[in-house]
Amino acid sequence: MQLSMPRFDQGSVLVVGDVMLDRYWQGDTGRVSPEAPVPVVNVQATDDRPGGASNVAMNIAALGAAANLAGLVGNDDAAASLLDSLSSVGVNCLFTTVADKPTITKLRVVSRQQQLLRMDFEKPFSAQDSENLSQHLSLDGVQVLLLSDYAKGSLQHCQVLIESARKKDIPVLVDPKGHDFERYRGATLLTPNLSEFEAVVGVCQSEAELVSKGQELLKSLDLDALLITRGEQGMTLLQANMEGELHLPAKAREVFDVTGAGDTVIAVLAASIAAGSDLPMAVALANVAAGMVVAKLGTATISAPELRQAVAAGQEVECGVVNEEQLVLSLQAARARGEKLVFTNGCFDILHAGHVGYLADARELGDRLIVAINSDESVSRLKGPSRPINPVDRRMAVLAGLSAVDWVLSFPDDTPERLLELIQPDVLVKGGDYNEEQVVGWEIVKAYGGEVNVLSFFDNCSTTAIVEKVIADADKPA
């Protein structure tokens, strides 16, 4: 699937859900209180940020789509702060005021980038409050209805909204919460994360079980589609009118903060569908955006130019970090397209110029390159207790960022022989000063008619030499 950017400015989304204010008080701590053994924070800065459904609406507005936000708020300064912040970025606020309840506010006291205390100001909204919200909403001109549920009471009557939207052929996207998804019956798409999904259907021990239980949930709730977000394992899309799954590996990069990643995913989904993208394309764009937002600190948004730049980079949608079952499924599709599969393995503890050149050469031997890297425990057994320098998730993230690499996975064994038996690549490649019969697994590959190639590292580089040089330099007198 080749990614293409929709015209977000042609889309209109109505977000309904639990609006919140994230409030931060920041300052230095230089002493302990004489009244109690707690630090004294000299508050020097305050910061109010839209949270919950408000953050979803901000993400939609940042993409350039028309963002309308409906939710329950109190008659207080927190509601006024939300209104000011959201209006300033183009979100049209349709708040319903509940006089005897506060706007949901989460106050965090922070010092030296460390959260010392969080205080929540909230009272659960009643069923009547939720009904009042639903009754006052108009769906005229809405292209997508997005329900952002944080289990604070605003969506107790969401079935009314779902039914009204479906009568008008308006897609309904739901970011669900809780252990009972029955209230979302008839929605177009649910986007639970893996833990939320398993809380409803039970633990899934395999890809096949996940797909089976997901299809059962689709049927039981009369859903069109289900998108399960799985963190470092990417996303899995199941559709009622299609067999199997569409799995999109995580677009691995350095993860700084996962705060708000789910909000970004459903915001990009909604804005893309409103702008005319089909569901698989919208999910692919959301997957790219999720990989971008986790590389930012704090609750963040992704703008259309940022997303466009990532799409222009031309990464294949189906490629990235995968587990063994996901790789097998991807390879089945690759083989059906007649692609030649190349496999290599190693620790790749510190990626250097030799690795990069070697992997580029390996990719030239076929259409797809699979890189299997030893787990942390395996590296320690092979290289000693001081290794690896970099943990496996970082090693995979760096490798997945190389244009030559299609799929990256880790394996717990000391040799790749089990993997070679499982996936049977067309070409096994190893870098170094070997002959063919010194390459681990060569006889397995030869037995089914595959090729074995030995390539030299560029620049005579090695991770061990780099580590030894660093240690030697550290020992030199200043």
User: Catalytic one among 149, 263, 349, 406?
Assistant: 263
Asked if 327 and 422 count as a contact pair (C-beta separation under 8 A), the reply is: no
Measured distance CA(363)–CA(407) in Å, rounded = 11
Measured distance CA(102)–CA(81) in Å, rounded = 13
Closest of 177, 291, 183, 278 to residue 237, by C-alpha: 278
Which amino acid does the sequence have at 258? V
Cβ neighbours of residue 173 under 8 Å, at least 6 residues apart? 144, 145, 146, 147, 187, 188, 189, 191, 266, 269, 270, 273
Listing DSSP states for 162-201 in one string gives HHHHHHTT--EEEE--SS--GGGTT-SEE--BHHHHHHHH
Listing DSSP states for 347-377 in one string gives --SS--HHHHHHHHHHHTTSSEEEEEEE-HH
Percent helix / strand / coil, the chain, rounded to 5: 40, 25, 35
**Element containing residue 271 per DSSP (H, E):** helix 261-274
Cα–Cα distances in angstroms (integers) from residue 155 to residues 161, 184, 300, 330, in the given order: 9, 10, 24, 38
Cα–Cα distances in angstroms (integers) from residue 382 to residues 347, 408, 412, in the given order: 9, 20, 12
**DSSP code at position 250:** B
- Terminal-to-terminal C-alpha distance of the chain: 55
> Can you say whether residue 222 is alpha, beta or left, with left for phi > 0 and alpha for psi between -120 and 50 degrees?
left
Which amino acid does the sequence have at 299? T
Place of tokens 């409030």: 23
DSSP-derived 3-state class of residue 32 = strand
Q: Is 263 in the active site? A: yes
Q: Which two tokens stand for residue 51?
A: 């949270």
- Known catalytic residues? 263
